[in-house]
Amino acid sequence: MNRQDIGVIGLGVMGRSLAVNLMNHGFTVAGYNRRREPAQALAREYPEKCIACATYQELVSQLNAPRVILMMVPAGAAVDDVIRELVPLLEKGDALIDGGNSFYEDTARRQQELAARGIDFFGTGVSGGEEGALKGPSIMPGGPREGYAKIQRFLETIAASKGGMPCCTYIGPEGAGHYVKMVHNGIEYADMQLLSECYLILAEGGRSNAAIADLFEKWNRTEVESFLVKISADILREKDDQSENDLIDMIRDAAGNKGTGRWTSIEALKQEYNASLLTAAYQARVMSNQTELRRKFHGVLPVCTDEGGLDAETIRRAYSLAKVIAYAQGFGLYHDASERNGWHLDLKAIASIFRAGCIIQARLLQDIMNAYEAEPELANLLEAKQFSTLLQENIGDLKKTVLWALAHNVPLPLFTNALIYVSQLSADSLGANMIQAQRDYFGAHTFERIDGEGHVHHEWGK
């Protein structure tokens, strides 16, 4: 019997787009959705390539062993629910892919549980939104190395490509794929926030939306070129269809989130790794939603604009450096997590698959690849020659931008954090000797002397 190549469970926006992408690349699909209509609609649209299944039994029976099934269901309990019902129907050697934004520790647990039943489970990051899923996303599969061959042809065929290489590569064991996607989103939050701060400072300097769009388009012909800069320019040109205004001016100043940026911040704290820009980007969204509190304190520090504002090239150069710091913190998290967990993450390969398809695709990623090519075990990207040079050259612009914003009461949490990060790296002293002394004073926690080894206690004030 002629069976389907792959099963897709969950035909929401992302699931449906990935299913169509698979079919556009010649694969046949068995589709299942809890509410039946989306699967039936897909089968009607692609009668030659798609079969709508009403039950998991039917889906499983439509696939040849070893079966490959892609789940695109909301992260959390829904993933466990599908696994609970589906897995008893599967056989040893079958492969299950979770393409949602699952928490990587859940993925590691699920993978272990399914491995015990002989099923290969792949926690797989998929980035690129609806359009990416349809035309070629960036894909980050993590799971059992030996089973990867079963899913490789599907994922690497439908992924975006750059320079003839698919934007998909085996990431590592356990929850490594979802970890990499989580931090990708942390970087995504940071770059989005940096661009919103560029927009804010340019707008507070008296520029129109159209003028800022022009600037962003110009910027996109320089080293800061990225998908996010491009869409930010597009956004600023969009007209509202319900008023005479630009659409951007009709959107509430409060941003939500689905949790991956929060997870990145929590994980950075757990790893004791300073990813201050990624964390501040999440906090900036939280702060934007403190509407009542913001209303009460509105005007305490009134924004005082001056005609012309800060020159745009200074802001662009500050953005260029702050963005490198955000990526350096994100890739630093990868380096640290890889060492802690023994994942052997290939950071050059990760930079490579981010170059197309995903939300954080940017020209900068080629430089990041070059840095890891020269030094695969680089702990912090800022140490690479091209980035330490950029730091030297652009730090003055970053400082000027932050000082302008402080003087004019324009809140720029990410730019400010970027400057603080550099000043912490650069300073002679961070005052931590005082912290050591305080801890020893009130809690006998001991301290380290600059002229000796080990920890000592002092009887303070006695």
- Give the number of other Cβ atoms within 10 Å of residue 94's Cβ: 25
Stretch that binds ligand 6PG, among 123-131, 154-162, 206-214, 379-387 (CB under 6 A): 123-131
Residues 161-190 that bind ligand 6PG (CB under 6 A): 185, 188
Positive or negative: CA dihedral 456, 459, 461, 462: negative
**Residue 375 appears among annotated catalytic residues:** no
Q: How far apart are alpha carbons 132 and 355 in whole angstroms? A: 13
Closest CA to 153 of 97, 104, 200: 97
Minimum distance between the CB of residue 189 and ligand 6PG, rounded to whole angstroms? 7
Minimum distance between the CB of residue 196 and ligand 6PG, rounded to whole angstroms? 12
Q: By three-state DSSP, how is residue 144 classified? A: coil
Q: Cα 103 to chain center, whole Å?
A: 13
Tell whether residue 261 is a contact of ligand 6PG (CB under 6 A).
yes
Tell whether residue 260 is a contact of ligand 6PG (CB under 6 A).
yes
Of 174, 188, 197, 204, which one is the catalytic site residue?
188
Contact assessment for residue 64 and residue 95, using Cβ atoms and an 8 Å cutoff: no
Which of 129, 161, 274, 366 touches ligand 6PG (CB under 6 A)? 129
Minimum distance between the CB of residue 128 and ligand 6PG, rounded to whole angstroms? 5
**315 or 358, CB closer to ligand 6PG?**
358
Tell whether residue 359 is a contact of ligand 6PG (CB under 6 A).
yes
Task: Determine which helix (DSSP H) or strand (DSSP E) holds 256, and give its type and residue range.
Answer: none
Minimum distance between the CB of residue 216 and ligand 6PG, rounded to whole angstroms? 19
Contact assessment for residue 331 and residue 161, using Cβ atoms and an 8 Å cutoff: no
Tell whether residue 101 is a contact of ligand 6PG (CB under 6 A).
yes
Task: Give the pair of three-digit tokens for residue 58.
Answer: 């039917």
**132 or 205, CB closer to ligand 6PG?**
132
Q: How far apart are alpha carbons 28 and 49 in whole angstroms? A: 5
Which of 24, 40, 257, 289 touches ligand 6PG (CB under 6 A)? 257
Instruction: Give DSSP secondary structure letters for 115-126.
Output: HTTT-EEEEEEE
In angstroms, the first-to-last Cα distance of the chain is 89
Interface size with ligand 6PG, residues (CB under 6 A): 12
Task: Give the pair of three-digit tokens for residue 84.
Answer: 């609970």
**Residue 188 appears among annotated catalytic residues:** yes
**130 or 311, CB closer to ligand 6PG?**
130
- Positions touching ligand 6PG (CB under 6 A) are 101, 127-129, 185, 188, 257-258, 260-261, 358-359
- Residues labelled catalytic: 181, 188
